[in-house]
Chain A
Amino acid sequence: MELATKTGFVLLGLFIILNWGLIMAGIIRKIIARASMRRGISVFQPYINLIKNYSIRSQLTHGVMFYLGPVFRLSGGVGIFLFMPLIHDSEIWSNFSFAGDLILIAYFMFFGMLGMALGAGEGGHPYSAIGISRGLAQFTAIEVPLTLAILSIAFQYNTLSISEIVARQQGGILNWTLFTNPLATIAAMISFLGAMGHAPFNVVMAPQENPIGPPTEYHGTFLGVLQTNRAILHVIESVLFMNLFFGGASNWFELIVKTFFIYFWSVFVGMVFPRFRVDQSIPWLLKIPVLIGILSIVFILL
């Protein structure tokens, strides 16, 4: 396929993912509201918030890195998207995935955080730096069980290509990594809780903690970019976990259903459990999930 068509389909995919991310955020907020016996926001409230943020008239800047922070964050989210095969066995929806894309995506997951750290550090708000160091420390701890799980399934399937991993899981639900390598799935799903920023691990973003953490100074369009990225990132990380552990998707409908339930797992846990402090969450993540991850590698290699 020539590059122009390919780019067109990639942009179309990005558009669909963005819209699904915004609507999913609205649906999730609605479910949370109903669980706490409220009517809650409208499903399209994330769209309105986004339009409103993009239509703020005045913007302040604190320097070049302040501009680049949201840009880096967005390129982190879009970067994961670019190299992620969305639909199994479909050439047009496989984006730019290639043989070693799993490593690249694991890198891109951290890239956005680092860019955000540089930007928020220049924001001038004294607590931004605290929020950022908390966020980076916690995200580093989240990455450890995830990396162990990725290593485990890389050993299991003997490849680092996501398309290959999806292809090996076809042919019935029992071929999913969920059943062929349950320990890796458990370790990865625990780190997924942290990556999504819901309750046990959301102290970094929690507004009650040192006012709002990293994005304190971001407003207007900057915040709009961050919100856009968050909508993309939530879906595309769910797609990553779907591809690695839940058999991928063979059409868009399956993708939407599976990402919804994978994302809902973090919301479900977040509704039930209270929030960890950073000094509690990091030791917790580095104990049992890491042990499960190591065990999964051991079992695969045996």
Chain B
Amino acid sequence: MPEDNVKYPAEDQSLSPVNRKRVVIGPEGEDILVDPLRDYYCTARPEPELPRQGIIEKFMNWARAESLWVLGFGTGCGSIEIPPLLSPRYDAYRFGVAMRPTPRQSSVIIISGYLSVKTLKRVIRSYEQMQNPKFVIALGSCTINGGMYWDSYNTINRLDHYIPVDVYIAGCMPRPEAILAGFNKLKQRIKEGRGEGANDYIKNLDWYKANQKKIIKDWNMPDYNW
């Protein structure tokens, strides 16, 4: 980007230059307003996708429960407990648990430990990009009531005020056995048809968004990250 024909408005000084809103002078001298952060903005509200009825939904829930694809996203110290889970000793693969590197393909997000406000923003983006149905496992006491960071100025106290949580695994940190038990609990929950967190999130979107926006002061993303 040639710097000499770029003018920045006074706002957005906290963003890096690539992301700032700016007026670019085109080849014929015309002014073009460029706002990179809003290039792919979709402002539409999401709609809840209701489950089917009867045996079809039960069969699908069984498949969903037996094939849990986990988003490889570690937020806090708990993410160090995830790699042993896939090692020969604990071997979570035998429960159908596998790691996926992209939120589009994964159905479970593990919030592993304390969650700072900066990370919460990334968690919300990743969570909303996952496809319905999606499940949240919260690891460690930090996600339940703040844990040892309960009076910190920068870590949240209750995760369920920001995204719907399916299973909490208590402990600081929980051992891999406890995480495996949590996965089995989640499977049981999905098979019972109670894994409807994604729809709850969309139905109560206003409440969740109000809580999120209360602590994320520089809200520079769409209300729902498609």
A binds B: yes
Which of B40, B59, B67, B91 is close to A40, meaning CB atoms less than 8 Å apart?
B91
A residues 1-60 in Cβ contact with B at 8 Å: 33, 36-42, 45, 48-49, 51-52, 55-60
Contact call B91/A58, Cβ cutoff below 8 A: no
Q: Known: A55-B63, A57-B133. Contact between A218 and B104, CB under 8 A?
A: yes
Contacts of B40 in A (CB 8 A): 124
Asked if B88 is at the interface (CB within 8 A of a chain A CB), the reply is yes
B residues 31-73 in Cβ contact with A at 8 Å: 40, 49, 51, 59-60, 63-64, 66-67, 72
Contacts of B64 in A (CB 8 A): 52, 55
Stretch of A68-76, A91-99, A209-217 with 4 or more beta carbons under 8 angstroms from chain B: A209-217
Asked if A274 is at the interface (CB within 8 A of a chain B CB), the reply is no
How many Å from the CB of A235 to the closest CB on chain B?
Answer: 22
Contacts of A124 in B (CB 8 A): 40
Contact call A57/B96, Cβ cutoff below 8 A: no
A38 to B60, CA, bound (A): 28
Q: Known: A36-B88, A55-B60. Contact between A219 and B104, CB under 8 A?
A: yes
Residue of A nearest to B68 (CB): A52
Asked if A144 is at the interface (CB within 8 A of a chain B CB), the reply is no
Q: Known: A57-B49, A58-B131. Contact between A218 and B105, CB under 8 A?
A: yes
Contacts of A55 in B (CB 8 A): 60, 63-64
Contacts of A63 in B (CB 8 A): none
Residue of B nearest to A36 (CB): B88
Contact call A49/B101, Cβ cutoff below 8 A: no
Contact call B93/A38, Cβ cutoff below 8 A: yes
Contacts of A215 in B (CB 8 A): 105
A59 to B133, CA, bound (A): 11
Contacts of A208 in B (CB 8 A): 101
Contacts of A197 in B (CB 8 A): none
Residue of B nearest to A60 (CB): B226
Asked if A207 is at the interface (CB within 8 A of a chain B CB), the reply is yes
How many Å from the CB of A37 to the closest CB on chain B?
Answer: 5
Asked if A300 is at the interface (CB within 8 A of a chain B CB), the reply is no
What is the predominant secondary structure among interface residues of chain B facing chain A?
Answer: loop
Total contacts A to B, CB within 8 angstroms?
A: 80
Asked if B132 is at the interface (CB within 8 A of a chain A CB), the reply is yes
Asked if B94 is at the interface (CB within 8 A of a chain A CB), the reply is yes
Asked if B119 is at the interface (CB within 8 A of a chain A CB), the reply is no
Asked if B100 is at the interface (CB within 8 A of a chain A CB), the reply is yes
Contact call B94/A223, Cβ cutoff below 8 A: no
Asked if B102 is at the interface (CB within 8 A of a chain A CB), the reply is yes
Contacts of A207 in B (CB 8 A): 72, 99-101
A residues 217-273 in Cβ contact with B at 8 Å: 217-220, 223
How many Å from the CB of A73 to the closest CB on chain B?
Answer: 16
Which of B59, B93, B105 is close to A223, meaning CB atoms less than 8 Å apart?
B105
How many Å from the CB of B109 to the closest CB on chain A?
Answer: 14
Interface size on A, residues (CB 8 A): 31
Contacts of B96 in A (CB 8 A): 41-42, 45, 48
Contacts of A217 in B (CB 8 A): 102, 104
Contact call B104/A40, Cβ cutoff below 8 A: no
Contact call B67/A49, Cβ cutoff below 8 A: yes
Contact call A52/B67, Cβ cutoff below 8 A: yes
Question: Digit string of B95-139 for contact with A (CB within 8 Å is 1, else 0)?
Answer: 010011110110100000000000000000000000111000000
Contacts of A57 in B (CB 8 A): 49, 51, 131-133
Contact call A39/B101, Cβ cutoff below 8 A: no
Contact call A216/B102, Cβ cutoff below 8 A: yes
Contacts of B107 in A (CB 8 A): 52, 56
Q: Known: A57-B49, A207-B100, A219-B105. Contact between A51 and B63, CB under 8 A?
A: yes
Contacts of B94 in A (CB 8 A): 38-42
Contact call B88/A37, Cβ cutoff below 8 A: yes
Question: Digit string of B64-85 for contact with A (CB within 8 Å is 1, else 0)?
Answer: 1011000010000000000000
Which of B49, B101, B132 is close to A211, meaning CB atoms less than 8 Å apart?
B101
A223 to B104, CA, bound (A): 10
Contacts of B93 in A (CB 8 A): 33, 38-41
Query: What are 17 A-B pairs with beta-carbon distances under 8 A?
Result: A37-B88, A38-B88, A40-B91, A45-B96, A51-B59, A51-B67, A52-B63, A52-B64, A52-B107, A55-B60, A56-B107, A57-B133, A59-B131, A211-B101, A212-B100, A212-B105, A218-B104
**Apart from A58-B132, A218-B104, 11 more pairs, CB < 8 Å:** A33-B93, A40-B94, A41-B93, A42-B96, A48-B63, A52-B64, A57-B132, A207-B99, A208-B101, A212-B100, A219-B131
- 5 residue pairs, one from A and one from B, having the closest CB atoms: A55-B60, A51-B63, A219-B104, A57-B49, A207-B101
